[in-house]
């Protein structure tokens, strides 16, 4: 397998590369996908917008937080825009989040929690995103519950969007359906793009080496949940983190980070990418074209920073210019302070948090390739001639349709499904189980347009809400969404996704191991299968092993050693 160990992706090239040839249908589909990953929150709260039931004010006594005034919509209480950290502006830009909720002046206050807070700064990539209210004062969370009493499992959703777009206030993430199945749901915002994930010596030195500020926002939101969720009917000892795409990657990062120890008890990663090459601040980054500092400097120059600017000058840069700078899919940084190594490498050394994990991906996650700023031709050219020949054989049916389909299918499998299987196998090094799934359901409205379940299509089905990608669900789609929702609710409640409608269909979803290689395939009806895409993933795994060997030979240490 003659291949440069770090040839995919070439990080600095992503700042200026763009597909040379884009087929019109693929571009149109990419715009639909963008609407799912980076949707705007309208001026009306989604719970009210999606329900014929009138909203009425409700007051919740939240102890040290004071009295929160939210809304009750039918049988669901919704609280929005609750600050969980100080605004990261001025001197707090590019610094770890500062806790807010224990400041004495805030105790006993009444706070309006009926409106969503601003989304974090992000590029205006669509008409909807252009109308999104954004501000650096964006570290807020939202909460759905059935009552402020009780002790129900808590599910904390981490939104996707390439670590560059999105917010916790999207109408797709309305938690009413999950609440009715017995959980408390929390969504939140975290810093995005260059404001959230950036390595530069002028900044990291003052932040004790931290480059993943958005990741520390996630940790701070989880600390808030641990301190306060009991006031909203949640059990702080049964917290599940779950997310899709960048949110799924965030779950894998939090599983791999010492900073989040003890803050969650189960996890679900939907289409995360923990085997993907990440920029680094160590010697391996400099040697293997993964230099996070070089990438960070290029992003800052794009945002208008002078070469001799000091940290104070960088903190005065325009937030919109910073949000617009950088690659279309932003990457976190292996900084040693928040993320000791690429997540899959941490899993393979058994240093992840020992909690039950559901992990998987979609049959056509490669639909996201158009947003990655690369054409299929460019992507395929990054492989050696020998590898391309083998890949064409493994993906012959896709290449028989088009170069675009072949390239994008490989991209999706290499970025998402390889990570899912690798992370699941790494759980064998701890005591908690991993449950591996393959989402293959295509809504009827998409069946003439896509060759498999596209990236993010499951999100609207999971939450039971309309999605720009799949439209309003029919009975079949609602049933698939209910199955996915049910298994994640059972994971949150008990640590085991089995039971419910799986049991009714006489299905037992076994914990994953490398020998049986069992997957739960979620299509029109769920089924357990062994060896899903085994030949393809085995080939891609050899690429991953070669790259990791090169990294380890240069750095001399792995996974935080």
Residue span of the structural domain in which 84 resides: 69-133+151-201+209-555
CB within 8 Å of 316: residues ≥ 6 apart: none
Give Cα 206 to chain centroid, integer Å: 27
- Asked if residue 410 belongs to a domain, the reply is yes
What gap in Å lies between CA 414 and CA 97, rounded to an integer?
33
Q: Which pLDDT value is given to residue 374?
A: 78
Residue-wise pLDDT tens digits, 4-14: 444 444 565 55
- Asked if residue 540 belongs to a domain, the reply is yes
Q: How confident is the model at residue 30 (pLDDT cuts 50, 70, 90)?
A: low
What gap in Å lies between CA 171 and CA 481, rounded to an integer?
16
Mean pLDDT of all residues belonging to the chain: 90
CATH of the domain at 525: 3.40.50.1820
- Asked if residue 12 belongs to a domain, the reply is no
The pair of structure tokens assigned to 71 is 């809304």
CB 523 within 8 A of CB 438: no
What gap in Å lies between CA 79 and CA 72, rounded to an integer?
9
Q: Which pLDDT value is given to residue 4?
A: 42
Q: Roughly what angle, to the nearest 10 degrees, separates helices 385-394 and 534-555? A: 150
Q: How confident is the model at residue 161 (pLDDT cuts 50, 70, 90)?
A: very high
- Asked if residue 33 belongs to a domain, the reply is no
Q: Is the pLDDT at 23 greater than 50, yes or no? A: no
- Listed in sequence order, the DSSP H helices in 341-474 are 343-348, 376-381, 385-394, 396-401, 403-412, 418-426, 457-463
Residues 142-152: what's their mean pLDDT? 97
Residues 361-373: what's their mean pLDDT? 90
Q: How confident is the model at residue 56 (pLDDT cuts 50, 70, 90)?
A: very high
- Asked if residue 532 belongs to a domain, the reply is yes
| Interior angle at CA 232, CA 141 and CA 256, nearest 5 | 55
357, containing H or E segment: strand 357-362
Q: How confident is the model at residue 206 (pLDDT cuts 50, 70, 90)?
A: confident
Q: Is the pLDDT at 126 greater than 80, yes or no? A: no
CB 275 within 8 A of CB 544: yes
Q: Which pLDDT value is given to residue 68?
A: 96
What gap in Å lies between CA 372 and CA 370, rounded to an integer?
5
The total number of structural domains in the chain stands at: 1
Residues 420-449: what's their mean pLDDT? 97
Residue-wise pLDDT tens digits, 85-103: 999 999 999 999 998 854 4
Phi first, then psi: what are they for 253, rounded to 5°?
-65, -45
- Asked if residue 19 belongs to a domain, the reply is no
Q: Roughly what angle, to the nearest 10 degrees, separates helices 418-426 and 534-555? A: 70
The pair of structure tokens assigned to 28 is 């149109």
Phi first, then psi: what are they for 111, rounded to 5°?
-130, 135
Q: Can you tell me which residue has the tokens 């306060």?
A: 228
Phi-psi region of 531 (alpha: psi -120 to 50; beta: other; left: phi over 0): left
530 bridge partner residues: 518
- Asked if residue 91 belongs to a domain, the reply is yes
Q: Are strands 67-73 and 110-112 parallel, antiparallel or unpaired?
A: parallel
CB 74 within 8 A of CB 86: no
Compute the chain's Rg from CA coordinates.
22
Q: Which pLDDT value is given to residue 34?
A: 64
| Higher pLDDT, residue 495 or 377 | 495
First to last CA, the chain: 28
Q: Which pLDDT value is given to residue 10?
A: 57
- Listed in sequence order, the DSSP H helices in 133-200 are 176-180, 193-196
- Asked if residue 243 belongs to a domain, the reply is yes
Q: Is the pLDDT at 350 greater than 50, yes or no? A: yes
Q: Which pLDDT value is given to residue 50?
A: 44
The pair of structure tokens assigned to 205 is 């030195």
């Amino acid at each position: 397998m003659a291949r440069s160990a770090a040839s995919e992706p070439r990080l600095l090239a992503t700042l200026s590369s763009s597909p040379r040839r884009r087929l019109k249908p693929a571009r149109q589909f990419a715009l639909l996908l963008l609407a799912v990953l980076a949707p705007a929150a309208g001026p009306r709260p989604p719970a009210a917008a999606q329900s014929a039931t009138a909203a009425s004010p409700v007051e919740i006594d939240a102890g040290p937080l004071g009295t929160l005034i939210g809304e009750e919509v039918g049988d669901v209480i919704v609280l929005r825009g609750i600050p969980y950290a100080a605004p990261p502006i001025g001197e707090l830009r590019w610094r770890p989040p500062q806790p807010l909720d224990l400041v004495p002046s805030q105790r006993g206050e009444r706070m309006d929690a009926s409106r969503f807070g601003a989304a974090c700064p992000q590029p205006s990539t669509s008409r909807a995103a252009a109308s999104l209210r954004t501000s650096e004062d964006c570290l807020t969370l939202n909460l759905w519950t059935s009552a402020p009493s009780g002790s129900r499992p808590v599910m904390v959703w981490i939104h996707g969007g390439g670590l560059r777009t999105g917010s916790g206030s999207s109408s797709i993430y309305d938690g009413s359906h999950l609440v009715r199945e017995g959980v408390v749901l929390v969504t939140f915002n975290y810093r995005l793009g260059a404001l959230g994930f950036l390595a530069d010596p002028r900044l990291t030195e003052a932040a004790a080496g931290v480059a993943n500020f958005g990741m520390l926002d996630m940790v701070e939101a989880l600390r808030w949940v641990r301190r306060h969720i009991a006031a909203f009917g949640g059990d702080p000892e049964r917290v599940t983190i779950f997310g899709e795409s960048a949110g799924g990657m965030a779950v894998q990062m939090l599983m791999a980070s010492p900073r989040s120890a003890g803050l969650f008890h189960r996890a679900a990663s939907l289409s995360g990418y923990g085997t993907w090459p990440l920029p680094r601040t160590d010697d391996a980054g400099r040697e293997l074209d993964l230099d996070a500092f070089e990438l960070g400097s290029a992003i800052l120059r794009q945002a208008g920073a002078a070469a001799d600017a000091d940290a104070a000058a960088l903190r005065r840069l325009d937030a919109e210019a910073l949000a617009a700078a950088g690659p279309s899919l932003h990457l976190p940084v292996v900084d040693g302070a928040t993320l000791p190594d690429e997540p899959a490498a941490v899993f393979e050394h058994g240093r992840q948090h020992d909690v039950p994990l559901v992990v998987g991906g979609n049959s056509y996650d490669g639909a996201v390739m158009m947003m990655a700023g690369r054409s299929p031709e460019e992507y395929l050219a990054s492989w050696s001639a020998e590898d391309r020949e083998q890949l064409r054989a493994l993906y012959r049916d896709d290449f028989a349709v088009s170069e675009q389909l072949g390239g994008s299918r490989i991209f999706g499998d290499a970025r998402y499904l390889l990570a899912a299987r690798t992370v699941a196998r790494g759980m064998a090094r701890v005591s908690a189980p991993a449950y591996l799934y393959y989402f293959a359901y295509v809504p009827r409205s998409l069946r003439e347009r896509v060759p498999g379940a596209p990236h993010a299509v499951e999100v609207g089905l999971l939450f039971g809400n309309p999605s720009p990608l799949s439209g309003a669900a029919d009975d079949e789609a609602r049933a698939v969404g209910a199955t996915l929702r049910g298994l994640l609710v059972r994971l949150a409640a008990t640590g085991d996704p089995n039971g419910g409608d799986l049991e009714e269909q006489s299905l037992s979803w076994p914990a994953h191991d490398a020998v049986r290689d069992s997957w739960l395939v979620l299509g029109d009806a769920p089924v357990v299968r062994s060896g899903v895409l085994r030949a393809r993933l085995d080939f891609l795994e050899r690429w991953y092993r070669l790259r990791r060997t090169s990294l380890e030979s240069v750095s001399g240490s792995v996974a935080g050693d």
